[in-house]
Amino acid sequence: MREKRHNKFQRLIVPGLIFQSVVIAGGYGTGAELAEFFFPFGALGGLIAMCTVTFLFWAAVCAVTFEFARVFKTYDYRSLFKQLLGPFWFLFEICYLVLLLIVLAVVVAASGSNINEVFGLNRWIGVGIMAVGVIYLVVMGTGVIEKVLSFWSYVLYAVYLVFMIMSFIKFGESIVYQLGTVKEIGPGWALGGARYAFYNLGVIPLILFSTVDAKNRAEAIGSGLIAGAIGIIPAIMLFIVMIGQYPETATATVPVNVVFQHLNVRWLQIVFQIVLFGTLIETGSGFIKAVSDRLEGQFSKPENPRRWIRPVTALICVLLGVLVSTFGLTGLIAKGYGTITWGFFVLYVIPMLTWGVYKIVRHKKAR
């Protein structure tokens, strides 16, 4: 059973912690996504794009979406988009299900390789641990998910901070050189920051369960703005660390491994990989919980609860992720990333920041 949050600080901060936990996934945590989306514009150009465009889009869309959900009591993505898009709400679900398949495949593949590389164990052990963790969190429900994801977000911040400090001690001159002397800012940096923002904005409707306790407009919008900051700060810290080994990290499959090879601090690498493994469970459980909430909202009523929906949904989704990763379809499906990015922009960002804002204002005037 979920406990109501009476503390204002928690109401403001928890949605951001949940957002950061779900958005990090495998690519963000390893630095692969950051290298792909931001290094093409140079070290300084990528950092500027991340700190301005990506942050502003995340903060703005989080703020408006959280307030929209509060006003219309739409705390799962199906009810949210039925209110926002009307009969065309299913178009968002199509984009989301494609993204779900990609993310679960990446999570399964990353969890297997993580356990194999760090501890030398069979990859299926990692997949099994991930599957058990994800299914457990989804079955236990909102209260447990909120507590676990919030706690792990604090742990991640601590580890990332230590990682950045130790990297600055060893590679500080290289980082300062890239940012202060080279000052490379490639053309199109703003579009690159926007593309990364749009691609990840599909996560926001999945975490609306964490905004239920917002008491007023100020809290809903405030928690959204804070969520944008909480979500982007670890990415900024990791990107700055990667700049120390730029341009090597720009082309590496797993950029953080390049940094650790030069840093040569084994205990920190092990701790980092453990934290990263935890984020894979967080991301998987967040994506699957959204599907479970959507199905429960449609088929399960308080007077007639369908208790089998959560475990069955979690199990089927995990098996789909395993199936996709096993047959090597991850790369093929990942080609749809670009389409999904613009799909979320057209079906979510534009409607929410225009029609959504209008409906919020109209609702207030009507009251």
Q: What is the pLDDT tens value at each position of the chain, 367 positions in all?
A: 556 666 888 899 999 999 999 988 766 888 888 998 999 999 999 999 999 999 999 999 999 999 999 999 999 999 999 999 999 999 999 989 888 888 888 888 888 888 887 788 898 999 999 999 999 999 998 889 999 999 999 999 999 999 999 999 999 999 999 998 888 899 999 999 998 998 888 899 999 999 999 999 999 999 999 999 999 999 999 999 999 999 999 988 788 989 999 999 989 999 998 999 999 999 999 999 999 988 887 776 665 667 788 889 999 999 998 888 877 555 555 566 667 878 899 999 999 999 999 999 998 777 6
Q: Domain limits at 302?
A: 8-350
Where residue 37 sits, what CATH number does that domain have? 1.10.4160.10
Residue 324 forms part of a structural domain: yes
Residue 270, phi then psi, degrees to nearest 5 = -65, -45
Specify the pLDDT at position 20: 94
Report the alpha-carbon distance of residue 143 to residue 163 in Å, rounded.
30
Q: Which residues fall within 8 angstroms of residue 92, CB to CB, at 6 or more apart?
A: 77, 81, 85, 205, 344, 347, 348
What is this structure's pTM? 0.91
In this structure, what token pair is assigned to residue 120?
Answer: 């030398």
Residue 46 forms part of a structural domain: yes
Q: Which residues fall within 8 angstroms of residue 68, CB to CB, at 6 or more apart?
A: 74, 80, 83, 84, 352, 356, 359, 360
For residue 318, which of 159, 133, 192 has the smallest C-alpha distance? 133
Residue 366 forms part of a structural domain: no
Residue 327 forms part of a structural domain: yes
Number of domains in the chain: 1
For residue 250, which of 32, 62, 77 has the smallest C-alpha distance? 32
Residue 2 forms part of a structural domain: no
Give the chain's end-to-end CA distance (angstroms, integer): 32
Residue 304, phi then psi, degrees to nearest 5 = -145, 70
